[in-house]
Every structure is written in C-alpha cells, then in structure tokens.
Chains A and B, each alone.
Chain A
C-alpha cells in the first residue's frame, strides 16, 4: 500500500509542475493587466487603440497607439511577402527535391538562422542595409519599412520553412507514388498533390512565422526608424508596438500614465500573438483529427 501511495504522491507532484506553465501564462495576463489597465482610467479603450496620436510625453499627452498597430501590421505583412515564398519554396526543396547531402547541409543552416540573436540582425540592418538603401534610393534615412521587412523576413523564414517541411514530409508516400504512376511530372505532383495535402501544415507555418515577426522587438527597435505616424510610402519610418515598448520603458517614470500605456500596448501585442497561436493550433488540431486522407 505504501508503494501505491508513493506513486500517487509522485504523480501529483509531477502534475503540479505541469500546471506551472499554465500558471505562468495566467500570471503574464495578470501582471500585464495589473500594470496596463490603469491607463484606461485616462483614455477609453477605443481612443487608445484607434487614436491617431502617440505623444506620451507631451503636455497634455496623447495615448493613441493606432500608428503603432499600423506599423506592426505593415512590417509584418511586407516581411511575410518576402518570407512566405522563400520559406515554403525552400521547404519544398528540402523535403522533395534536394539530394540527401544538400538536405544534411540545409537543415542545420535553417536551424542556425533561427538561432541568430535578433539584436545581431538588427545591428546588421543598421550598419549594412540602411546605408546601402539610403545611397541606392537617395533617401533621408535607410531605417524604414523596406529595411525592417527584409530583416524580419530573415527571422520568419526558419519558422515557416521548418514547420512547412514537417508538413510536406508527413504527406504519405502513396499519394506521391499514385501521382507519378499516372504519368504526372515532378512539378505536377508537387503542385497538385503534395502541397495541397500539406496545406494546413503550411498555413500553420505561415501563421506562426507572422506571429514571430509581429512580436519581434530588437529588429524593429533598431531598424524601423521609430516614427510614430501612419506611413505614406514604403521608405517611411514606422514605430511598431514592440519598438515603442522597448524604447520608452526605460524613460517612462514608474507607474506614470506613460508606463501604464506601454503595458497596455504589451497587452494588445499579447492578445494579437495569442490569437495567431490559437488559430495555428486550431488548424493543426483539426488537420490531425481529419487526417491527411481528406483533401
């Protein structure tokens, strides 16, 4: 009986540990709310999110984060335009076309790319890409949407590529063989059979890649230029949400309205990425239940 009791105790200790990650997720929400909610005593939720003016240190201050949200969305979309084709196509190459040796090389390359610290990529954008853009296009600054989108794309490619590759890899062999046996070319097999069968996995990859881009801080902090205004051209500067938080938190007086506003911006960012992740989870779970048999 004592052994049974011991087993039960061990099991419950393990259960408690597992609960901690849920607990932390809960704590994140609690502390974001605790420090973020007070701002809504000063501005309404609507004015905060859709307000066009972000002048937190003026007198009187304006706490409208719409330009920051637009900045985040724009850089994420432009980064996706670059990263999605690059990520998905490279995944197709690795999974379906590359000879074994190339596979052995490319998979670690993608993993190392994923491992590059973001501050280093931001540094690269500042000292290499920015001066080049400035000179080539004769711009007032090279720290702009184009620059930040390219760097963010480099950060999102590994996520998109590796998850897409998993999805492509798990397409059953029989599908491919059936297609080849019917006289389809390699391209036709990939385009009409393999990619459609892996589509939900690829969608998950794209969503998670975008989530990575929208939440990325150091790159947008260093390369986006920091103008808190709605941009008019792709060579304008922007100030995405993470950049605003990172740049201003150091200067915002403790528990001032500015401080609370930055936490509230963090809340918005948190819920956007949570939403992305829930969608990705929904797609991948649904896919699992239905199985790859139904196209």
Chain B
C-alpha cells in the first residue's frame, strides 16, 4: 500500500517539476533579456536611425518597418480569414469539399515559415516582379497567419449559440442579415483575440521576410510599399551574426531583443487578457 502512494508522490513530483521548468524557463529568459537590454533603451534608441555602420544610434527604422509589415499582413489576412471562416461555419454543407478546404487550412498552418519565405520569393518577388519590398513581405506574412485567423474565427463562430441563429431566421430574417447582425457581432471578441495573436506572430517572424522584404540597412525610410525595409527580427539576426562588430554591438542587440520581445509579448498579452475578460462576461 505504501508503495502505491510512493509511486504517486514520485509521479506528482515529476509532473510539478516539469511545469515548474517551463515557468522558470520563460521567467528566467524574460528576466535575463530585461536586465541586459534595459541599459540600451533610451528615447534616442527608439527614435533615431542606426549610424557608424550600425554600431551606434537607434533602431527606429526597424521598429517602423515591423509596424508596416505587420499592419500589411493583418490587412490582407483578416478579411480573407474571417470570410473563409464564415463560409466554412455558416454556409458550407459539411461534405467532402469542406473537408478538403479544412484539411488544406490545417496543412497550411503547418508549412514551415522558411517555405513561406521561398514561396513569397518565387511568387511576389520573382514572378510578379514586386521585388524585395514591403508589399511582398506583407503578403507573405499575411498568408502565413491566414490559417491562424481562420481557425480562431471558426472557433469564435462556433461559440455563438445555435439558438441565436434560429431566433433570427425564425423571425423571417435572411441568412445574410442574421450573420451580419447576430452571428458576427457575437463572435467579434473571439475573432479579435485570434487576430491579435496573429499580429504577434507576424511581428516576430524572420524567415518569411528574409528574402521578401527586409534589408540589412536602409539609408532612408521607406516612401512606398515597393521599398525595402528594416525589421526588428531581421535586425537582431543581422547584428548577432553578420556584423563585423558583434561584440561591440552587444548592447544594441540586447536592446533590440528587448524591444522585439516587449512588443510581441504585449500584443499576445492583450489578446490573452481580452479573452479571459470575454469568458468571464459571457452570459450564455
């Protein structure tokens, strides 16, 4: 009998330890980045361009570039994703066609980001001759986060009670108006949460923009969507690996990492907070 409880306690210990390991990894990592990066952060760092072959100065063009690319991605992915989800969840008869579309979405979600990068290079940069620019990068990132947005939107649509739809249709309201006035407004918070997570993902990705949008260094800020841009994740990579002054720029590297992590995690955190708020408030 004692052996049984010994086994149980051993098991509980191991399980707690693994959860603790994960929590400590994140905590330790964030602490490390924060402590090392904080020294670099200043108003100048955030608002000035780099100078002296990127060994001094700030990272403003990279911040701006990430904002451009990410906004572009969400502008492309959000309408496409929400409309697809509405079709799959509200209109489609569950059959082989929908099954194939869903499978396609799932597989798209699993395609590695570097393959998206190659795809973006092949289609936008080369075939459509956009070149390496904001437009190519935003399209590539947009398609990368499309499955995330479709998935989150479908989940949000599924959580709208069927009785709401029946009530509206039973009044003699058309399906389209029922979706527009009843289903979408009630699914909106969930769609929003998923989209914000998608924004976070797009802001942090490096591989898809390496060949499609980002530049090592740009002398001036982009003036059109056909210009190359700097971006935070690529800036981190470049400073940490390709520079000739890797040790000299350590401080800038930590600072850039801190800005990137801070940006991405606050976006994620906003989504998490919104979601838990909705869950608490939900009355049905």
Contact = CB atoms under 8 A, between A and B. Distances in A.
Query: Do A and B come together as binding partners?
Result: yes
A273 B116 CA distance: 13
Nearest to B236: A119
Interface string A88-123: 011011100110001001101111110111111011
A199 B84 CA distance: 31
Contacts, number: 263
A106 B143 contact: no
A92 B265 contact: no
Given A24-B108, A263-B122, A276-B110, A281 B103 contact: yes
B110 A211 contact: yes
A120 B15 contact: no
B88 interface: yes
Interface in A154-201: 154, 157, 161, 185-188, 190-191
Interface stretch (B1-9, B40-48, B54-62): B1-9
Given A17-B84, A25-B104, A250-B210, A32 B115 contact: yes
Interface string A261-274: 01100100110011
B107 A278 contact: yes
B106 A187 contact: no
A283 interface: no
A115 B111 contact: no
A273 B201 contact: no
Contact of A186 (B8, B21, B33): B8
A64 interface: no
A35 interface: yes
Nearest to A15: B87
Contact of A27 (B22, B114, B119, B147): B119
A270 B115 contact: yes
A217 interface: yes
B244 interface: no
A120 B236 contact: yes
B240 A123 contact: yes
Contacts of B201: 115
Nearest to B204: A117
Contacts of A254: 126
Contacts of A208: 110
B216 to A, nearest CB: 9
14 contacts: A14-B86, A21-B150, A24-B108, A32-B122, A90-B22, A93-B19, A108-B272, A117-B264, A119-B204, A185-B4, A187-B8, A215-B113, A246-B114, A270-B111
